[in-house]
Amino acid sequence: MVKYLPQLIFITFSGCGPVYYVPNTQNVPVMKDKGQTNLSLALNGSEWTNGFELQGAYGLTDKIALQLNADWVESTQEPSNGSGHFVELGAGYYKNISRYFVFETYGLLGFGNLKYEEDFSSFQEIKANFFRFGVQPSISYSSKYFIASLSGRFANINYNSVSGNHYDVEFLKANNSYWLVEPALTLQTGFENVKLLLQFQLSENLTNPDFSQDYSLVSLGLKVNFGTK
Give the distance, in angstroms, between the CA of residue 199 and the centroid of all CA atoms in the same chain. 11
Please count the helices (runs of H) and the strands (runs of E) in the chain.
1, 13
Whole-angstrom CA distances from 65 to 15, 56, 221 are 41, 11, 21
Q: Using an 8 Å Cβ cutoff, are 93 and 63 in contact?
A: yes
Q: Identify the pLDDT of residue 11.
A: 39
Q: Using an 8 Å Cβ cutoff, are 40 and 62 in contact?
A: no
Domain boundaries, the chain: 9-226
pTM comes to 0.89
- Model confidence at 15, in pLDDT bands (50, 70, 90)? very low
Cβ burial of 170 (10 Å; 0-12, 13-18, 19+) is exposed
- Average per-residue pLDDT in the chain? 89
Is 118 a residue whose pLDDT tops 90? no
The pLDDT tens digits of the residues spanning 55-84 come to 999 999 999 999 999 999 988 777 678 889
- Nearest Cα neighbor of 4 from 50, 37, 48 is 50
Is 228 a residue whose pLDDT tops 80? no
Q: Identify the pLDDT of residue 81.
A: 83
Query: Which overall architecture, per CATH, does domain 9-226 show?
Result: Beta Barrel (2.40)
167: helix, strand or coil: coil
Q: Tell me the average pLDDT across 7-13.
A: 37
Distance, CA of 213 to CA of 205 (rounded, Å): 9
